[in-house]
């Protein structure tokens, strides 16, 4: 079989091995994997910042755990890593080493070994395994995914956030809670409890906001003003994601993530969001049917369905920003506004957009709570 030469895939698998070695405190393996990652990162461009930052944080945290046991060579590796990273050049695929074991690595088997009843996806090893499963299916099925997006007329993915976060988003893109914490970025968060356990992932909805959650957050934080971001659906073709056909924090969704992650990824994971099925939380129920709610082809069956993206979404993928407030109430200084519009140009900002914050007439979310384990074929 042709060896894997996609540098991001190779780095992802090496980072997984590095995390595993760090968890078991296997110093020779930690140094070996870190050196390989450092060498690969020297061949790629600045879009691999997240991979580099993940690696550096693993090394830094491992060093904190038992600094006296590390050799001078480890400290030199950290120093070399920091020096090397700013000077990365465009990667050359012919210089990426052959990584046969990437193809021989069965992500689903390893996932089963890690998934336990008390499983929590914020654990970085499990989160990375889920990402690799998502990546594998996305890469294999990108043409089918593209065809379904076009057939369903999906034009936008939606994410909402407090307006105060927009400067960080302009400069760094949309980042997961885990990534924001690792970079030391101060932010206002919507979900302070994060029952879905997916702190390394970013929640989006399809075509419309998750209005029930949006209104609940607005009621909980009445002092805050929010921005609704429209994202280009092309991110489904080149970023890693999972599709969850109802609220990701529900017991049914968490069970599915543990027991059947293959149902969440690739074109199957996307199509499942648009299927009929039985209601969540009810042993016996009438099927929830799309036609009963007069849904458009680009609207998921359950309005709380989510597409969760791993770690980061580039700011360049934001195609529109809707705000309830008028432009005169934009809460940033002139210097900050200049920074924001450098990455998010003024022509994509929609001020005073009240209608986008209101439920559509067919929303009826209480009667559309679908069970992801009982979808129709």
* pLDDT tens digit sequence for 212-230: 888 888 888 888 889 999 9
Residue 373 has pLDDT above 70, yes or no: yes
Closest by Cα among 106, 24, 97, 100 to 62: 24
Q: Contact 14/144 with Cβ under 8 angstroms?
A: no
pLDDT of the residue at 93: 33
Closest by Cα among 221, 307, 254, 264 to 107: 264
Closest by Cα among 130, 168, 142, 172 to 308: 130
Which range (9-18, 150-159, 264-273) has the least confidence?
A: 9-18
Bridge partner residues of 159 (DSSP): 229
Higher pLDDT, 4 or 320: 320
Enumerate residues 6+ apart whose C-beta is below 8 A from 147: none
Q: Contact 265/134 with Cβ under 8 angstroms?
A: yes
pLDDT of the residue at 109: 53
- The arithmetic mean of pLDDT across residues 11-22, rounded, is 75
CA distance 372 to 302: 10
Extents of the domains making up the chain: 7-105, 124-375
pTM beyond 0.85: no
pLDDT of the residue at 236: 94
Summarize pLDDT for 279-338 with one digit per residue, the tens: 876 666 678 889 888 899 999 999 899 999 988 898 889 999 999 999 999 988 988 999
């Amino acid at each position: 079989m042709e060896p894997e030469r996609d540098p991001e895939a190779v780095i992802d698998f090496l980072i997984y091995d590095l995390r595993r070695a760090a968890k078991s405190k296997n110093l020779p393996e930690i140094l070996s994997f870190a050196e390989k990652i450092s060498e690969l990162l020297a061949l790629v461009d600045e879009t691999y910042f997240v991979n580099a930052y993940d690696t550096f944080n693993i090394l830094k945290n491992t060093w904190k755990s038992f600094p006296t046991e590390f050799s001078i060579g480890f400290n030199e590796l950290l120093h070399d890593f920091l020096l090397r990273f700013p000077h990365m050049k465009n990667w050359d695929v012919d210089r990426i080493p052959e990584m046969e074991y990437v193809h021989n690595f069965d992500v689903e088997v390893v996932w089963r070994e890690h998934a336990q009843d008390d499983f929590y996806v914020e654990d970085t090893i499990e989160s990375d395994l889920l990402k690799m499963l998502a990546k594998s299916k996305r890469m294999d099925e990108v043409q089918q995914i593209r065809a379904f997006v076009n057939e369903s007329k999906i034009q936008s993915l939606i994410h909402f956030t407090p307006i105060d976060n927009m400067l960080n988003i302009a400069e760094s893109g949309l980042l997961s809670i885990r990534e924001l914490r690792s970079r030391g970025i101060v932010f206002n968060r919507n979900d302070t409890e994060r029952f879905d356990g997916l702190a390394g992932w970013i929640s989006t909805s399809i075509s419309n906001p998750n209005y029930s959650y949006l209104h609940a957050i607005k009621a909980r934080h009445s002092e805050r003003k929010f921005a609704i971001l429209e994202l280009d659906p092309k991110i489904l073709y080149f970023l890693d994601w999972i599709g969850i056909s109802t609220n990701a924090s529900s017991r049914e969704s968490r069970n599915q993530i543990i027991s059947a992650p293959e149902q969440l990824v690739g074109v199957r994971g996307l199509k499942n969001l648009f299927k009929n099925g039985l209601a969540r939380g009810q042993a016996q129920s009438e099927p929830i049917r799309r036609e009963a709610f007069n849904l458009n082809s680009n609207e998921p069956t359950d309005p709380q369905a989510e597409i969760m993206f791993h770690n980061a979404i580039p700011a360049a993928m934001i195609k529109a920003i809707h705000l309830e407030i008028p432009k005169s109430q934009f809460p940033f200084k002139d210097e900050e506004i200049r920074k924001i519009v450098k990455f998010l140009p003024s022509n994509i900002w929609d001020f005073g957009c009240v209608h986008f914050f209101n439920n559509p007439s067919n929303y009826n979310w209480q009667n559309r709570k679908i069970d992801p384990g009982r979808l129709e074929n």
